[in-house]
Amino acid sequence: MAMDIAAIRREFPILEREVNGRPLIYLDNTATSQTPREVTDAITRMYTSTKANVHRGVHTLSQEATDLQEATRRRVQKYINAAEPEEVIFTRGTTEAINLVAASYGQRFRDGDEIVLTVMEHHADIVPWQLLRSHADIRIRVAEINDRGEIDLESYGSLFNSRTVMAAFCHVSNVLGTVNPVKDMTAIAHSHGVPVLIDGAQASPHLPIDVRDLDCDFYAFSSHKMYGPTGVGVLYGRRSILEEMPPYQGGGEMIRHVSFGHTTFADLPFRFEAGTPDFVGIAAFASALDFIERVGLENIARHEHELLEYATGRLREIERLQIYGTAPGKSAVISFNVGDIHNYDLGLLLDRMGVAVRTGHHCAQPLMERLGVPGTVRASFAVYNTREEVDAFIAALHRVLAILA
C-alpha cells in the first residue's frame, strides 16, 4: 500500500515550523521521533478529563486512569507478543529498564563473573553493568565488529565461558544502523545457560518485536522514539526470571504490607513500579502504538529504507565523505564524516539551514574509539521524512562544505 506521506506529515504539527528562517528538516529521529496529534490529544484529554493517581482510589477518575494505564500494558503485551501483561513493566525509558535489570538481577553477580556486551552498545547498556562493580569485581567482555559494522557469530560464541552470567546487546545500533542477529545471539547465550537482555531502543520504532520468538529474557525500549510521549519506557521480563528478582526501588505501589520491622512486596508487575508512574504518558503511549499500527510497521520500514538508500547514494557522491555502518539490511541511520571537518561544525552549519542532525559520540564512546573518530554526524529517518527533505539536506550539506572549504 502506498502511503500518503503528505497526510501523515499533517498529523505532526511540529513539522510545519521553521528553524533559522528555513523549513525544519528533522533528521534526528534516532534521538527522538516527533509526536502525532493523536498522541498529544490523548495527553491533553487525560489532563483535562481523567487525571487522577492510578491504583490508589476507589473514585471514578482514579479507576478510569488505572484502566487506561492497564489497557496500555495489555496493548504493549500484544505489541511485543509477551505471554502475559504482568511481564510488561513500565519505566522511564530504556535506560531505566536496563538499570532495573542490572541493579536487581545483578545482585547475584560475584567477583570474577563476566558480562558479554558488544562494542556498539549505547552507554545505557554499558554503564549500568559497570556500576555493579561497587559490590563485585565484574569483568566485561566485548564482541567486536567487522568493517561493515556486523558481529561475527562464531567469535561472539567464543566470548562465553563458565563465568558468564549475562549477555546484553542492542537489537539495532544507534550509530551504525546494524540490525543484529539477535535471535541467534540469544540462542548462543542460552546454549551457555546465560540470560539475555536486548536493548530494543532503536528496533521498536522500525521492526516487529516478538519477545517469545526471540526467546529473550529481557527486552527494553522507549516510547519517545516510537512517536510516543517522553518519560515512558518498557521493560519486558520473562515471568520466571522476574519472580526471582529483588525489588529495584522501594516506595508506594510496590508493596503488599509495610511495618517498621518488615515489608512484603506486591506481585508482578507492581513490585518493580515504585511510586507514581507517568500514567498520563503511559495512557498516551497506546495512541502512539495505534498510530504505528494504523500506518503499518512494514510500510514505515519500507519508506524509511527507500529514504536510506536514496540518501546513502546522494551522500556517496560527496568527495571525502565516509559512512560508518554499511551492513546489509541496516536501519535508516547514516553516520558520516567529511574529511577531517569536525562533526560539530557540520552540525552547527546544517542547523543554520534548518536541518536537524545529531553530532558527537551518540552515547557510544567505545564504538567511536573502535571507528577511530571522536564523533560523527548522524542523519536518521522516520515515517514523515521525504525525498525532498533528503534533497534539501544534501543541498545544505554542499553549501556547508563550500563555506568550510
The interface region with ligand PLP, picked from 90-98, 141-149, 284-292, 397-405 by CB under 6 A, is 90-98
Least Å distance, CB 346 to ligand PLP, is: 20
Least Å distance, CB 357 to ligand PLP, is: 14
Euclidean distance between CA atoms 93 and 10, whole angstroms: 27
Please say whether the dihedral angle defined by the alpha carbons of residues 379, 383, 386 and 392, taken in this order, is positive or negative.
negative
Please, which residue, 92 or 238, has the CB nearer to ligand PLP?
Answer: 92
Least Å distance, CB 183 to ligand PLP, is: 18
Give the total of residues touching ligand PLP (CB under 6 A): 13
Q: Is 95 an interacting residue with respect to ligand PLP (CB under 6 A)?
A: yes
Please, which residue, 197 or 394, has the CB nearer to ligand PLP?
Answer: 197
Q: Is 93 an interacting residue with respect to ligand PLP (CB under 6 A)?
A: yes
Least Å distance, CB 391 to ligand PLP, is: 27
DSSP letters spanning 260-325: SS-EEE--TTGGG--S---HHHHHHHHHHHHHHHHH-HHHHHHHHHHHHHHHHHHHHTSTTEEEE-
Q: Where in 160-219 is the site for ligand PLP (CB under 6 A)?
A: 170, 174, 199, 201-202
Q: What are phi and psi of 247, to 5 degrees?
A: -55, 160
Out of 35, 99, 222, 331, the residue judged to bind ligand PLP by CB under 6 A: 222
Please, which residue, 75 or 122, has the CB nearer to ligand PLP?
Answer: 122
Helix (H, G, I), strand (E, B) or coil at 160: coil
Q: Is 380 an interacting residue with respect to ligand PLP (CB under 6 A)?
A: no
Q: Which of 205, 221, 209 lies closest to 34 in space, CA to CA?
A: 205
Least Å distance, CB 349 to ligand PLP, is: 24
Least Å distance, CB 276 to ligand PLP, is: 19
Euclidean distance between CA atoms 29 and 396, whole angstroms: 19
Out of 68, 117, 124, 245, the residue judged to bind ligand PLP by CB under 6 A: 124
Euclidean distance between CA atoms 380 and 398, whole angstroms: 18
Catalytic (active site) residue 170? no
Cell of 289: 502504538
Please, which residue, 170 or 368, has the CB nearer to ligand PLP?
Answer: 170
Q: Where in 5-34 is the site for ligand PLP (CB under 6 A)?
A: 31
Q: What are phi and psi of 278, to 5 degrees?
A: -80, 75
Euclidean distance between CA atoms 290 and 39, whole angstroms: 9
Out of 122, 206, 238, 358, the residue judged to bind ligand PLP by CB under 6 A: 122
Strands (E), 7-87: 18-19, 22-23, 25-26
Euclidean distance between CA atoms 161 and 380, whole angstroms: 37
Please, which residue, 95 or 335, has the CB nearer to ligand PLP?
Answer: 95
The interface region with ligand PLP, picked from 5-13, 18-26, 120-128, 268-276 by CB under 6 A, is 120-128
Relative to beta strand 218-222, strand 355-356 is: unpaired
Please, which residue, 124 or 307, has the CB nearer to ligand PLP?
Answer: 124
Least Å distance, CB 112 to ligand PLP, is: 27
The interface region with ligand PLP, picked from 92-100, 177-185, 304-312, 345-353 by CB under 6 A, is 92-100
Please, which residue, 303 or 358, has the CB nearer to ligand PLP?
Answer: 358
Least Å distance, CB 133 to ligand PLP, is: 20
Euclidean distance between CA atoms 376 and 23, whole angstroms: 24
Amino acid at 261: G
Q: Which of 26, 23, 21 lies closest to 383 in space, CA to CA?
A: 26
- Count the helix, strand and coil residues of the chain and give each as a percent rounded to the nearest 5: 45, 20, 40
Residue 368 contacts residue 321 (beta carbons within 8 Å): no
Pick the catalytic residue from 46, 167, 363, 368.
Answer: 363
The interface region with ligand PLP, picked from 12-20, 87-95, 183-191, 252-260 by CB under 6 A, is 87-95
Burial 93-117 (b: 16+ CB within 10 A, else e): bbbbbbbbbbbbbbeebeeebbbbb
Euclidean distance between CA atoms 182 and 171, whole angstroms: 6
Please, which residue, 50 or 335, has the CB nearer to ligand PLP?
Answer: 335
Residue ranges binding ligand PLP (CB under 6 A): 31, 93-95, 122, 124-125, 170, 174, 199, 201-202, 222
Q: Would you name the residues annotated as active-site residues?
A: 363
